[in-house]
Structure 1
Amino acid sequence: MLPKLSPGWRLVFIVKPTTAESKCVSPQFLQELEQLLAQAEVFDGNS
């Protein structure tokens, strides 16, 4: 998702310890994160 970010954006994510200890991130989590970033209009061209 990093290449999609509009110039000038700096994002900080705070992850709970139980999530950070997980060996992999679920596809559903990544999909929801991408939807939230699109809604926040942080993607280049607001895609």
Structure 2
Amino acid sequence: MSDHACEPADGVAEVCLVVQHEGRVRAVAARLSGVDGRWLVTALQIG
């Protein structure tokens, strides 16, 4: 698995992962926003 994360704005995180499982490779991208002390996933894409 490889990963990358960045913080484009205060309270916002964007992450992307490349995951290999049972011989298949998938890309996962997510955008998270800090809300009331917790992370809320505001966008998710799996390909």
Structure showing the higher strand proportion among its residues? 2
- Of the two structures, which has the highest relative contact order with CA contacts closer than 8 Å and spacing of 6 or more? 1
* TM over 0.5, shorter chain: no
